[in-house]
């Protein structure tokens, strides 16, 4: 396994946990995926690196967007 494989795997697992939580809360699986993709795009616009806090910040951002009844981009 390469040096980057472990952090990449951990980032993917964290993303999957958030996606699964969104699905469990009633979101359609495709919409949950789009929210995760939307966070990745937002993080890129902000210039954020995929560090240990990346998905914690992303989860809060997604929650705020959902609370404001926004829809993820298509």
pLDDT of residue 23: 98
Reply yes or no on whether the pLDDT at 5 is more than 70.
no
Reply yes or no on whether the pLDDT at 1 is more than 80.
no
pLDDT of residue 3: 56
What tokens were used for 72? 């993820």
- Of 62, 47, 49, 48, nearest to 17 (Cα)? 62
What tokens were used for 53? 């806090």
Reply yes or no on whether the pLDDT at 15 is more than 60.
yes
């Amino acid at each position: 396994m390469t040096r980057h494989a472990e952090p990449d795997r951990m980032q993917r697992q964290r993303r999957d946990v958030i996606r699964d939580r969104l699905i469990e809360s009633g979101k359609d699986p495709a919409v949950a995926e789009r929210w995760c993709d939307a966070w990745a795009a937002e993080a890129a616009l902000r210039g954020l690196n995929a560090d240990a806090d990346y998905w914690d910040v992303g989860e809060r951002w997604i929650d705020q967007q959902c609370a404001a009844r926004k829809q993820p981009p298509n």
